[in-house]
Amino acid sequence: MRLFDIMMVVRRQCAVVSLTALFLLVLSANVYFMYLIVEDKSPNVVSVNHVVANNLIPGRKKTEKPVGKHKVKLVIQPRNATIRAVRQIKQKLEVLSPKYFKKNVLYKKVLQELLDDLKPTVEISTSLWATAEKWVTAREMVPERSPLLGSVLRTLCSTRIVRAENAQHGTQLKLMLTLLDKQKALFKPQWYPRSEVIEGPVYAGKDRHNAEVAAFHLSILLGLRRCPLTVGRKVNLRREVMPVASEDLFDTFYQEGNNTCFYGVCYYCSAQDPVCARKDVMEGALIMWLPPGPLFKLKKFRNPWQRTYRPELAARWETDDNYCNKLKATRLYNPATGPRLLDLVDAAIFDFLIDNGDRHHYEVFENITDAVVLLLDNGKSFGNPSQDHLDILAPLYQCCILRKSTWDKLLLFRGNALSVSLEALLQHSHISPVLSSAHLKALDRRLLAVFATFELCISRYGVEKVLMHDAVR
């Protein structure tokens, strides 16, 4: 009897253990599959490793664990949509129509009007802040004709700094300067000489101050007047900045030989990575801040063509040829319901020309209907003049729609007129020469790639479906 009781107790314990193990197994499976379902709802990023030997969860960072003497290798999913598009664009470039190589003399009229606007016509005055503030609307930062533009830019270059603080928005070192009469402006210091070539991925390196200056001038040249007013400015750190610096910023200044250096306070800022002036003079880009008030409050959106910034992960747009059609099924990106998608195509062309592959988010004015996609934060541009990252054009070659007004303006600067015109505009800058000749030549080469991409689109859909007469420009 005693033996029987013992056996019954053992059986009950075994049953309890088995049921508990079964419950935990079912629970773990449910949690795992719920995770997969949630991960699969991400519209923009897909795992490059759907099935691997150690059952990695999609979206997680690849790890290699030793199994005996062998390692489990990640199976990389090719970025097939990008590979196909790039190959087709390069093929089209080889047979591009001669009309795209002929100069259009009408560009000279547009260039001369801008050169006239860039000439200072009135004395330096902080009353011009109000003029620049009135220029900002839902669809542009500066009007098509603005005779006081040169005067505003010269005032931005010259007005006394009354306060200097860390600009902690973003990841890189920037200063928020307050100029006389409460005008705020963002200062990005110089990290590289003009001749420096940034190797690595398209988003490599620190911000280039001269890229911000060049991007602003290119935006007004192409009629994409969505960049804030930007100038090159040289400031004396000891005389102009340190006496008015906030305490936390002031504490990061020090002397290195004959040069004044600082490292500021930001996500990536550290004493091991300072930026140094030439003696006391620091060159940089000064970007006029947006007008105060709720009307021009910014709202940020993730760019549908955002990169993953991880070699082992491909974005959905890099693998799915039908990505744009799925995007257009949403209200925000349906061309019939608003200008947002056309704005992003404009931005993609602009970014490709300046080689900016780092627009992972974009901003619009939050409280304005149909507000334009602003071209802010262009510092990761003009890194390597010998590289053309054709995948930046994905919104164009996947959606195959383009504003006719944008297309007409691009055609105006064919035949190497783009580099000639931008160089002429940049001669007005206080930090001229702004770009090296190699970067200027790259603009003309990349414009041809835009033409080739457009030709691919019209061969598929016809010019009537590609070019759009958008009432909201």
Helices (H), 67-208: 80-94, 107-118, 128-135, 149-158
**Residue 358 is among the residues annotated as catalytic for this protein:** yes
Catalytic member of 207, 343, 346, 358: 358
| CA gap 210, 106 in Å, rounded | 28
- Sort strands 45-47 and 313-315 into parallel, antiparallel or unpaired: antiparallel
Phi and psi, residue 403, nearest 5°: -65, 135
Torsion angle defined by CA atoms of residues 469, 117, 433 and 124, in that order, rounded to the nearest 10 degrees: -140
Residue type, 135: W
| CA gap 195, 438 in Å, rounded | 9
Count Cβ atoms within 10 A of the Cβ of residue 222 and give its class: 0-12 exposed, 13-18 middle, 19 or more buried. Answer: buried
**Residue 10: strand, helix, or coil:** helix
**Residue 298: strand, helix, or coil:** strand
| CA gap 393, 276 in Å, rounded | 36
**Residue 345: strand, helix, or coil:** helix
Catalytic center residues: 358
